[in-house]
Amino acid sequence: MESYEALLARIQAKRVQDGRMSVGFAAYSDSDMFKTNTSTKPLAKDFSAHFSAESSLRTHSVLKQAAAKHLKTPGLVSLGGGLPSSEYFPFSEISLRIPDPSTDSCAPDHDVTISKHDSRIGASEYDLSLALNYGQPMGSPQMLRWITEHTEMLFNPPYADWRACQTVGNTGALEQAIRLLCDRERGDSILMEEYSFSTAIETIAPQGIKMFGVKMDAEGLLPDSMDQMLRNWDAKTRGARKPHVLYTIPTGQNPTGTTMSLERRQAVYAVCQEHDIFIIEDDPYYFLQMQDQFDGRGIDDDDKSAQKYFENLVPTFLSLDTDGRVLRMDSFSKVVVPGARLGWVTASAQVIERFLAHAEVANQGPGGFSQLMLWKLLDETWGHDGYMKWLCQMSKHYQRRRDVLLNACEEFLPRDIVTWDVPQAGMFIWIKVQHQKCSNTIESTAIELEEKIFDHAIANGVLCARGSWFRVDSQKPLQEIFFRITFASAEEETMKVAIQRLSAAIRQSFGTEK
């Protein structure tokens, strides 16, 4: 594996070789323009058989194709596209104050000013006139360059023709991915962890795609269980043909908080190869991995913490993807800001081409304000090393918050009734309530007891997420009671109070109040 310093040096050398970026309005770009190392890698396999009829029928926008092909021509006067004149944009300048990425340091903030025509006068590669006009669906070349470098540095897909494109966040990206890969008319279905992100379930269900949950343990999805499901698949009994897509949240899984080890990911990938399953890797919590050696005190004085953090990140499915069967979704929502609505997907060029054909007539890519401000933050101000320091700090901060909530659970929750595992990533703790120990179990079903606990908790002044909200096989009777609690948003001093209130709600529901 190439060293952290060598990766940074290679990116910088490529930048120096390419020179200053100078592009016009609605400029086309793709990841091949910015990669540093693909010459010795094989090409991805052909996965067009997985595409839906809708995706296969899509054509590209003729206007965007014309802009991409011709607007870069020197001296060309465009009377073809409806791009408004930037002279009339009512924003002349934006000022930002950006913290040092070593957030616990005493370094001063960076004051950054963005003007309308910085690019024209050579002050910057990206400005308001470019960012706020129409663009291409893969996003601006400036931001896509940074994303491509980041993806190559962190994940280094093992095939040559991988590409990235920007999205409006992982929820929007998932909706596009499902429509690209799944077809109601041919009876498609999708595999997921048995408990999965409720919004993902709500995104998939209206498209008429059946969902089937795969059993989990403390490391997430069980590959043997998945393999058995697929080997014994009966389309008539299931009401759907054998699945050809897996949707998974492998790191800090929502809602369970589980994280797949490298060995688990390799085993799951092998099952997907055996049964020709395409993988949608939804990984917004990837950078909130909590390493044992981190103590939450901030960036080390020797400035090696970012490097150690980088070296200890578990490899992704994209990193293992020798076939090109993974579409990975990344997001800034959990580690920078969710309101930017900016993320990206990475997959083979064949898959990204179909993804972009949809984006051209749907969201048309993320907004210019978001791209410009994040580019100023991540590229021009922090750089890749600075961003790694920031991610390292975020991991430490969330580990500290996790420990506050875990300590409160240890102190107040009734351990004879409630159990949980310590999450190694993400924002959630998944607590299990042993409902069989309730004296009223004969009179109350699991779903009724879950609702009773929830109602008591609300009455006591604490909101938790019911486990049944996340069940993929929701038509089956509830057999186990879980609640998802998060250490992400509440003030640290109020977490203890919240767990006291939850504990009281459980005891009230079990009739064991102190």
Residues 408 and 492 in one domain: yes
486 beta partners: 428
Residues 362 and 230 in one domain: yes
Please state the rounded mean pLDDT for residues 275-299: 79
Asked, for residue 3, whether it belongs to a domain, the answer is: no
Residues 428 and 322 in one domain: no
Asked, for residue 420, whether it belongs to a domain, the answer is: yes
Asked, for residue 35, whether it belongs to a domain, the answer is: no
- Which pTM does this prediction carry? 0.94
Asked, for residue 93, whether it belongs to a domain, the answer is: no
Exposure class string for 114-131: b at 16+ Cβ within 10 A, else e: bbbebbeeeebbbbbbbb
Residues 175 and 292 in one domain: yes
Asked, for residue 81, whether it belongs to a domain, the answer is: no
Tokens encoding 32: 């091949």
Please state the rounded mean pLDDT for residues 199-226: 98
> Rounded distance, CA 208 to CA 213, Å?
16
> Rounded distance, CA 314 to CA 471, Å?
27
Q: What is the tally of structural domains in the chain?
A: 2
Average pLDDT, the chain: 93
Q: Is the peptide bond before 284 cis (omega within 30 degrees of 0)?
A: no
pLDDT at 230 over 80: yes
Q: What is the pLDDT of residue 233?
A: 98
Q: What is the pLDDT of residue 75?
A: 82
Asked, for residue 40, whether it belongs to a domain, the answer is: no
- To 10 degrees, the CA torsion angle through 259, 265, 267, 268? 90
- Around Cβ 18, how many Cβ atoms within 10 Å? 11
Q: Are 177 and 327 in contact (CB under 8 A)?
A: yes
Residues 374 and 403 in one domain: no
Residues 221 and 293 in one domain: yes
Residues 220 and 286 in one domain: yes
Main-chain dihedrals φ then ψ at residue 326, nearest 5 degrees: -115, 130
Mean pLDDT check: name the lowest of 182-191, 291-300, 323-332, 384-393.
291-300
DSSP state of 264: H
Asked, for residue 428, whether it belongs to a domain, the answer is: yes
Beta carbons within 8 Å of 440's beta carbon, 6+ residues apart: 449, 510, 511
Q: Are 66 and 80 in contact (CB under 8 A)?
A: yes
> Rounded distance, CA 329 to CA 171, Å?
9
Residue among 396, 166, 420, 162 at smallest CA distance from 287 = 396
Q: In terms of residue numbers, what domain contains 423?
A: 399-510
Q: What's the pLDDT tens digit per position in 108-129? A: 889 999 999 999 999 999 999 9
- Tell how strand 220-221 and strand 245-248 pair up: unpaired
Residues 476 and 347 in one domain: no
Residues 436 and 478 in one domain: yes
> Rounded distance, CA 275 to CA 357, Å?
28
Residues 260 and 312 in one domain: yes
- 486: domain CATH number is 3.90.1150.10
Residues 150 and 292 in one domain: yes
Which residue type does 273 have? Q
Residues 325 and 462 in one domain: no
Q: Choose one of 353, 380, 407: the last residue of a domain.
A: 380
- 314: domain CATH number is 3.40.640.10
Exposure class string for 180-191: b at 16+ Cβ within 10 A, else e: bbbbeeeebbbb
Asked, for residue 73, whether it belongs to a domain, the answer is: no
pLDDT at 74 over 60: yes
